[in-house]
């Protein structure tokens, strides 16, 4: 995973003072090209890493090897933790690396780095909407999360004062998870008409883990979105395509003979499942429920009546 390699790279540079891409590749068991890309990624993110050409050259931290990483500014430390933070929830080794790096940071901006590490969660499974361009508001809200400042939002025509807890990148659609007077709320960032960071300190539960909170949000939304399920049999080679169409609403139920599988798909209504499956034709066998089969038959009859000639 790239995030833990970035942290490991920085720790290795801190210990040795200077490394070549070849040495880094050997140490981390990656290709030289991968090691070079990681070094360039650190530099692009604002971490003070630079190459030194010529014999005896390599890559090193500005100011040389420092046991307290004091070559990093507060913004640079935030950049590093924002690179690694989203991966930490899924990878214990990344958490371990972050803890080691956290201990090496100067106390003056350790709190900001900790906040940055938990500022963003990445959820790669979409909710069916088309990917959006990254809203410019994301950076403003991210800074508010790290600085622990309240934000005044204009959302769906209403002004709201919220305590920003974190941001979620859900398949290129961004969400803000925040505390409000009515409790936890989730705001889709591209629907925020205006956002102003105030000087008021934001309240945030001391034991809050953004990844776990987002899991709760997703579970609540999925229950509302997909109350109806249907069992579908198809060739195993088509399973990835079916999962792509239904996302987390496609569950593998069983593997069958002749390289077939049974999956369970879900949607709010029979017509919505039927519309997704109609284009598959004879490639799928919908075992039930009867309501979905009836919608498929109706759609098929409409198509025959219009196009049979």
pLDDT, mean of residues 50-67: 63
Percent of the chain with pLDDT over 70: 68
Domain locations in the chain as residue ranges: 2-117, 123-210, 226-307
Structurally, at CATH architecture level, domain 123-210 sits in: Roll (2.30)
3 confidence band (pLDDT: 50, 70, 90): low
Give ∠ CA 93-98-102 in degrees, rounded to 5: 150
Would you state the pLDDT for residue 64? Answer: 46
| Contact between residue 270 and residue 292 where contact means Cβ atoms under 8 Å apart | yes
pLDDT, mean of residues 84-108: 51
Would you state the pLDDT for residue 1? Answer: 45
Would you state the pLDDT for residue 181? Answer: 86
> pLDDT higher for 114 or 166?
166
Would you state the pLDDT for residue 227? Answer: 73
What are 119-148's pLDDT values in tens digits? 666 665 666 555 567 778 887 888 888 788
- Cα dihedral value 34, 36, 42, 48, nearest 10: 160
Percent of the chain with pLDDT over 90: 17
What integer best gives the mean pLDDT of the chain? Answer: 76
Protein fold of 2-117? Arc Repressor Mutant, subunit A (1.10.10)
CA atoms within 13 A on the CB side of 69: 27
pLDDT at 275 over 80: yes
Q: How far apart are CA 25 and CA 23, in angstroms?
A: 5
The token pair that represents 289 in the structure block: 């429920």
Would you state the pLDDT for residue 89? Answer: 47
- Single pTM value for the model: 0.50
Would you state the pLDDT for residue 136? Answer: 80
pLDDT, mean of residues 279-306: 91
What are 6-34's pLDDT values in tens digits? 767 777 777 677 788 888 888 878 888 88
pLDDT at 36 over 80: yes
At 295, is the secondary structure helix, strand, or coil? Answer: helix
At 193, is the secondary structure helix, strand, or coil? Answer: strand
pLDDT, mean of residues 201-211: 84
pLDDT, mean of residues 222-228: 70
Q: How far apart are CA 298 and CA 300, in angstroms?
A: 5
Would you state the pLDDT for residue 7? Answer: 67
Q: Which among 295, 254, 253 is positioned nearest to 274, based on CA atoms? A: 295
- Determine the distance from the C-alpha atom of residue 305 to the mean position of all C-alpha atoms in its chain, rounded to a whole number: 45
The token pair that represents 126 in the structure block: 């979409």
At 86, is the secondary structure helix, strand, or coil? Answer: helix
At 52, is the secondary structure helix, strand, or coil? Answer: strand
pLDDT, mean of residues 287-292: 91
At 38, is the secondary structure helix, strand, or coil? Answer: helix
Cβ neighbours of 105 (radius 10 Å): 21
Q: Which among 267, 266, 268 is positioned nearest to 253, based on CA atoms? A: 266
> pLDDT higher for 30 or 261?
261
Q: Which CATH number fits domain 226-307: 1.10.8, 2.40.50, 3.40.50, 3.30.70?
A: 3.30.70
How does DSSP classify residue 60? E
> pLDDT higher for 289 or 10?
289
């Amino acid at each position: 995973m790239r995030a833990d390699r970035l942290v490991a790279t920085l720790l290795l540079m801190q210990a040795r003072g200077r490394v070549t891409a070849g040495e880094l590749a050997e140490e981390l068991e990656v290709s030289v090209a991968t090691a070079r890309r990681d070094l360039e990624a650190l530099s692009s993110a604002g971490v003070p890493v630079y190459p030194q050409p010529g014999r005896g050259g390599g890559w090193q931290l500005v100011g040389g090897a420092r046991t307290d990483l004091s070559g990093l500014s507060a913004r640079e430390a935030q950049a590093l933790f924002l690179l690694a933070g989203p991966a930490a929830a899924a990878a214990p080794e990344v958490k371990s690396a972050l803890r080691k790096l956290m201990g090496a940071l100067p106390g003056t901006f350790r709190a900001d780095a900790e906040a940055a590490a938990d500022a963003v969660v990445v959820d790669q499974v979409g909710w069916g909407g088309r990917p959006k361009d990254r809203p410019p508001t994301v950076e403003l809200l991210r800074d508010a999360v790290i600085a622990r400042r309240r934000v005044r939002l204009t959302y769906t025509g209403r002004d709201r004062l919220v305590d920003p807890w974190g941001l979620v990148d859900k398949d290129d659609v961004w969400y803000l998870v925040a505390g409000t007077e009515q409790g936890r709320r989730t705001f889709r960032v591209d629907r925020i008409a205006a956002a102003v960071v105030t000087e008021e300190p934001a309240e945030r539960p001391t034991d809050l883990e953004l990844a776990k909170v987002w899991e709760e949000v997703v579970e609540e939304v999925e229950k509302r979105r997909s109350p109806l399920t249907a069992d579908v049999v198809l060739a195993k080679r088509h399973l990835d395509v079916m999962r792509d169409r239904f996302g987390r609403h496609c569950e593998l139920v069983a593997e069958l003979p002749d390289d077939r599988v049974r999956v369970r798909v879900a949607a709010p209504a029979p017509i919505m499942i039927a519309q997704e499956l109609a284009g598959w034709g004879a490639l799928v066998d919908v075992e039930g429920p009867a309501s979905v089969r009836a919608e498929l038959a109706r759609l098929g009859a409409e198509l025959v009546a219009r196009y049979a000639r």
